[in-house]
């Protein structure tokens, strides 16, 4: 019997329920993935006991000789993975990584130009409800009705705004990001280029997406999503002076003691990303997303931008009577987990939306390939075409469970 089951059966029972949910549903939220047993083991390790304020060889606590080595391994692996010179592996999340970048590069109320949240950007790219939109004077660019970024329009906005930082990267953009084009715009207006590759980092690491270096001055990413590591963030740069400012912004700027157990898990995850098998995985992630787009398009659904270059697709229901929220609920009832999302030309509120975002990374981690994703796309279409039919949702849920049972990712409890 596990220690958790013995000491807290109430929480243990809920863990069991979550394991059941993850095992027998289809997790297709684009920001989610399944960490390996090794990553999870590192996160739950005795390193959680160690306080280590500061950086390797420059700590404010004793007894850090072991965690120094672990953090240095994480740094070196990340540098090799993303071909950069300086990495801070201490951010507790992607949002905190972004916050530290702003603190390092900007003064309060300086100008930032980022992708509009409703067009596929992220809260931390200048949304007014975020600290990035409250502490700085934020402006935004978006996508055209065809779902793509118009770089000439971004340039026009940048020339008017004259921001100190331009943010590129997105949380719901299915097309490849042209970092070189963004750098050209940044240089023209004298701005830093800050690339947030949280969603596409696993593809970048495998050479399946354009590399933000050498174009970006600073790059951040989360370490889960397409990287399959633990939940957390990192900051990267090739500029030594910027790296010093970034380190100070993280500690003592916005964080105290780093989570050394999570940093160890980051190191383990980066080690997995550096293996040759990772390129095969990343290529399959893109293939699977394209299958979703192609099959659903053939079924008559509107795919934002007409397809995908990465790990996600956006379905638009602007020409349908039901909303993104309706689709989200219907698919959830059928055992397929996605998330409602705004789309270009949005007519509904952000709490209702006219679309859903669907990702391929998590199910690819379970070993699902072309055949399975064709089947899944057909099941998504069947549910959406009969969105108010509970019997169809129940039928699909049984079929989803049957499929999922053949691809159990955790053969033992990992908690």
For residue 233, pLDDT over 80 is answered with: yes
From the candidate CATH numbers 3.30.70.580, 3.20.20.140, 3.30.1330.10, 3.90.1150.10, the one assigned to the domain spanning 280-404: 3.90.1150.10
N-term to C-term CA, the chain: 12
For residue 2, pLDDT over 90 is answered with: no
- Whether residue 231 lies in the annotated active site: yes
Does residue 168 contact residue 176 with C-beta atoms inside 8 Å?
no
Burial grade of 318 (CB within 10 A; 0-12, 13-18, 19 or more): middle
Average pLDDT, whole number, for the chain? 97
Q: How confident is the model at residue 325 (pLDDT cuts 50, 70, 90)?
A: very high
Q: What percent of the chain has pLDDT over 70?
A: 99
* 132-173: pLDDT as tens digits: 999 999 999 999 999 999 999 999 999 999 999 999 999 999
Q: How confident is the model at residue 401 (pLDDT cuts 50, 70, 90)?
A: very high
Please, what sign has the CA dihedral across residues 374, 375, 376, 378?
positive
| pLDDT for res 411 | 80
Q: What is the mean pLDDT of residues 8-16?
A: 95
Q: Does the domain spanning 41-273 belong to CATH 3.40.640.10?
A: yes
For residue 1, pLDDT over 70 is answered with: no
Does residue 285 contact residue 203 with C-beta atoms inside 8 Å?
yes
Does residue 50 contact residue 260 with C-beta atoms inside 8 Å?
yes
CB within 8 A of 272, min separation 6: which ones? 36, 38, 39, 228, 229, 278
Q: Which is catalytic among the residues 148, 231, 279, 348?
A: 231
CB within 8 A of 344, min separation 6: which ones? 119, 142, 143, 144, 145, 146, 147, 304, 316
Cα–Cα distance, 252 to 249 (Å, whole number): 6
Q: Which of 290, 296, 336, 292 is nearest to 320 (CA)?
A: 296
Q: Which is catalytic among the residues 53, 68, 378, 399?
A: 53
- Whether residue 237 lies in the annotated active site: no
Q: What is the mean pLDDT of residues 351-379?
A: 98
Cα–Cα distance, 104 to 120 (Å, whole number): 25
SS3 366: coil
Q: Indicate where the chain has its CATH 3.90.1150.10 domain(s).
A: 280-404
Q: How confident is the model at residue 55 (pLDDT cuts 50, 70, 90)?
A: very high
Cα–Cα distance, 229 to 201 (Å, whole number): 11
Least confident window among 209-213, 316-320, 407-411 = 407-411
Preceding amide of 225 cis, omega within 30 = no
Q: Which is catalytic among the residues 124, 220, 222, 223?
A: 222
Which helix (DSSP H) or strand (DSSP E) does residue 312 occupy? Answer: strand 312-316
Q: Which is catalytic among the residues 111, 155, 183, 225?
A: 225
SS3 341: strand
| pLDDT for res 93 | 98
- Whether residue 266 lies in the annotated active site: no
Instruction: Report DSSP letters for 109-147, one per residue.
Output: T-EEEEE-GGGT--GGGT-TTSHHHHSSEEEEE-B-TTS
Q: Indicate where the chain has its CATH 3.40.640.10 domain(s).
A: 41-273
Q: Which is catalytic among the residues 24, 32, 51, 110?
A: 51
- Whether residue 196 lies in the annotated active site: yes
CB within 8 A of 281, min separation 6: which ones? 202, 206, 364, 365
Cα–Cα distance, 113 to 162 (Å, whole number): 9
For residue 75, pLDDT over 80 is answered with: yes
Q: How confident is the model at residue 354 (pLDDT cuts 50, 70, 90)?
A: very high
Burial grade of 390 (CB within 10 A; 0-12, 13-18, 19 or more): exposed
For residue 414, pLDDT over 70 is answered with: no
Q: Which is catalytic among the residues 196, 211, 260, 372?
A: 196
Q: How confident is the model at residue 360 (pLDDT cuts 50, 70, 90)?
A: very high
* 299-313: pLDDT as tens digits: 999 999 999 999 999
Which residue in this structure is represented by tokens 């689709």?
Answer: 327
| pLDDT for res 413 | 62
Q: How confident is the model at residue 415 (pLDDT cuts 50, 70, 90)?
A: low
Cα–Cα distance, 293 to 141 (Å, whole number): 25
Does residue 163 contact residue 189 with C-beta atoms inside 8 Å?
yes
């Amino acid at each position: 019997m596990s220690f958790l089951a013995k000491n807290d059966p109430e929480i243990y029972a809920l863990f069991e329920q979550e394991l059941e949910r993850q095992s027998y549903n289809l997790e297709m939220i684009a920001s989610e993935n399944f960490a390996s047993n090794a990553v999870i083991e590192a996160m739950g390790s005795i390193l959680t006991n160690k306080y280590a304020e500061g950086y390797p060889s420059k700590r404010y606590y004793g007894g850090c000789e072991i965690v120094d080595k672990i953090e240095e391994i994480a740094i070196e692996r990340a540098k090799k993975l993303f071909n950069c010179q300086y990495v801070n592996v201490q951010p507790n999340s992607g949002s905190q990584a972004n916050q530290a970048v702003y603190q390092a590069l900007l003064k309060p109320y300086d100008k930032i130009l980022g992708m509009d949240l409703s067009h596929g950007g992220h809260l931390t790219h200048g949304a007014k409800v975020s600290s990035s939109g409250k502490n700085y004077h934020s402006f935004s660019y978006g996508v055209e009705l065809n779902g793509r970024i118009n770089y000439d329009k971004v340039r026009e906005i940048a020339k008017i705004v004259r921001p100190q930082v331009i943010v590129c990267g997105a949380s719901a953009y299915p097309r490849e990001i042209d970092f070189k084009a963004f750098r050209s715009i940044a240089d023209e207006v004298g701005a830093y280029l800050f690339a947030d590759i949280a969603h596409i980092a696993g593809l970048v690491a495998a050479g399946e997406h354009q590399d933000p270096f050498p174009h970006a001055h600073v790059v951040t990413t989360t370490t889960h999503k397409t990287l399959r590591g633990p939940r957390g963030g990192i900051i990267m740069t090739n500029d030594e002076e910027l790296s010093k400012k970034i380190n100070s912004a993280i500690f003592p700027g916005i964080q105290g003691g780093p989570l050394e157990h999570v940093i160890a898990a980051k190191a383990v995850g980066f080690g997995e990303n550096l293996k040759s098998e990772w390129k095969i995985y990343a290529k399959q992630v893109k293939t699977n997303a394209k299958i979703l787009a192609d099959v659903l398009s053939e079924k008559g659904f509107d795919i934002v931008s007409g397809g995908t270059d990465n790990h996600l697709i956006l379905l638009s229901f602007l020409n349908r009577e039901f909303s993104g929220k309706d689709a989200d609920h219907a698919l959830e009832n059928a055992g397929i987990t996605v998330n409602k999302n705004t789309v270009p030309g949005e007519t509904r509120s952000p709490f209702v939306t006219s679309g859903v975002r669907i990702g391929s990374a998590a199910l690819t981690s379970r070993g699902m390939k072309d055949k399975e994703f064709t089947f899944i796309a057909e099941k998504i279409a069947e549910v959406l075409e009969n969105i108010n039919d509970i019997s169809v949702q129940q039928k699909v849920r049984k079929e989803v469970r049957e499929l999922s049972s053949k691809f159990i990712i955790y053969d033992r409890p990992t908690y």
